[in-house]
Structure 1
């Protein structure tokens, strides 16, 4: 064991085995075939709580519309939000943050992305995880990525305790220096392909079986994996409908909008004006809509 945790003494053997496994065969995603920080940022923002099958089609369409950071920065925010909603990509504030981040890169960084995780976090809506992912995959300049897949691998293979600080320490001790791009891709791929909720150790030829505590003991428990809430009928879906409808019409009266968002809308019912105003308040806080007044005759429009 290393002094820093439950890793084997010969960490280099683990590193070589995993990288070789990844480079021999891995799933192909378009964002893995580029080092363009703009394209990687787009993929990372789209992938937040959204199924990869939906992300890949949207990713191609988005880049066809706005192929680089300058094109996105010059776009109308309402167009970007409308795209996000029409492709069911989750909370529309991610679209506004991505649009604002593009403007920051254009206006504050001369069109060139910052390269370190700390600097990348200065961009609107870019938190520690996304900043580190962009630094890793675009610039090979990141720390170890620690997502649910990586936690599952570390917990099962090396019996790392279910503790965020323990996971972060073990992940960084395990990553080869200066190899964040290939390493982070490789360990996330392992968690997604071989070490999922139902492990496929032999079927996927997991390269870490000889070191794996779970494979040796038969105990494949792992940290809880958050489940994505159903999209159908969710507030995310309803917010998306509001934005889509307002994108199609210059403005709509409150009750007209409500009836078009939900067929069971009744002004004084469970899904009525109070419910709709709560939805619109969230969208207004995100800078997406304007509500003319507080009466029942209010009209609603997308913020330009």
Structure 2
């Protein structure tokens, strides 16, 4: 497939921004340009349903309303909050806490404003850095996520190639308008051009140019399938963190039955004492728990 980008970029831009500004989903992070709050929302939204993020976002900011509050918080409490709200990998909570500490200690409490400098913050990759630069400072590049790729592929035949997507996205984004543009094109992918398209129902503003709408071929780039969470190592790591969040300290033999009903300390494979020790050691390597050896057994606690 070769790209067929319309000649009148201004008309394409105007149609999309007018559609977005007329009506869009009202998420709380879209009502702020505070870089701390936007960073929190972006980290929470990684592979997590937005309905779950909204509640967690409000609770998180009630507890740590400013970047300085998060930097001063006990990291174990932050990790426990993350796990308790089922927000995915607990390392994200650790990195978010460390990023807040960096902002306070290395940047005098003021966030960097461009994507390159934002990437110096712990756990902030290219996409998140660009999103914060765009939505907080209107200073980002064109966002290219799964939704954007789907839209560009269907509408204009952009090949399933990262470099091609980046070039096309940059071509369309109006200069100095990254905040509204990136919100708008992601909204288009989330509302009108999802895996099951809703072109007419959502009033897609690009129907007049869209190849998929014209041909009925709504093929889109493959979306990687998420591995099953139920029964996964990631699920049990989260259970360990939640259990430790309710106790100052637990021995391995006290912890095991709390995370797995079939825990057998002397068994083999999953559910054994060796398996549990591996989970705990992984969490310790990630800086999330502390492990101490004593006469009465191995004790574990959240890292403070």
- The two structures share one fold, judged by TM-score above 0.5: yes
| Paired position in structure 2 for 1:203 | 201
Q: 2:297: which partner in 1? A: 297
Residues 74-130 of structure 1, C-alpha deviations (whole Å, 9 max, x = no match):
111111111111111111111111011111101111111000000000000000000
Q: Do the aligned residues in 1 keep the contact of 2:3 with 2:159 (CA within 8 Å)? A: no
Quick one: distance in 2 between partners of 1:43 and 1:288? Answer: 21
Residue range with higher mean Cα deviation, 237-246 or 196-205:
237-246
Matched residue, 1:53: 51
Aligned residues: 301
1:121-142 CA-to-partner distances (Å, cap 9, x unmatched) read 0000000000000000000000
Where 2:300 maps in the other structure, the secondary structure is strand
| Deviation for aligned residue 1:245 | 1.3
Deviation at 1:198, TM superposition (A): 0.6
Distance 2:42 2:225 in 1: 19
Moved over 6 A (4+): none
3-state DSSP class of the match of 1:292?
strand
Q: For 2:183, which of 182, 185, 197 is the aligned residue?
A: 185
Asked if residue 99 in structure 1 is aligned to residue 84 in structure 2, the reply is no
SS at match of 1:197: coil
Whether the aligned pair in 1 keeps the contact of 2:147 and 2:186 (CA below 8 Å) is yes
Structure 1 partner of 2:145:
147
Displacement of 1:5: 5.5
Q: Kindly tell me: are residues 5 and 295 of structure 1, through their superposed partners in 2, closer, same or farther at Cα, counting changes over 3 Å?
A: farther
CA distance in 2, matches of 1:279, 1:295: 21
Distance 2:295 2:203 in 1: 64
Cα pair distance change 1:17/1:105, threshold 3 Å = same
Q: Superposition pairs for residues 30-179 of structure 1, below 5 Å? A: 30-179=28-177
User: Can you list the C-alpha shifts for 1:11-67, whole angstroms capped at 9, x where unaligned?
Assistant: 110000000000000111000000000000000000011111110000000000000
The corresponding residue for 1:29 is 27
Cross-structure match for 2:281 = 281
| Deviation of the 1:228 alpha carbon | 3.2
Unaligned residue ranges in structure 2 (runs of 5+): none
Q: Deviations over 1:201-256 (max 9, x none)?
A: 11111000111011111110000112333433332321121112112222111122
**Structure 1 unpaired stretches of 5+:** none
Q: How large is the Cα RMSD of the aligned pairs?
A: 1.6
Please give the per-residue CA displacement for 1:129-174, whole angstroms capped at 9, x wherever unaligned: 0000000000000001101000000000000000111111111111
1:254/1:296 contact within 8 Å kept: no
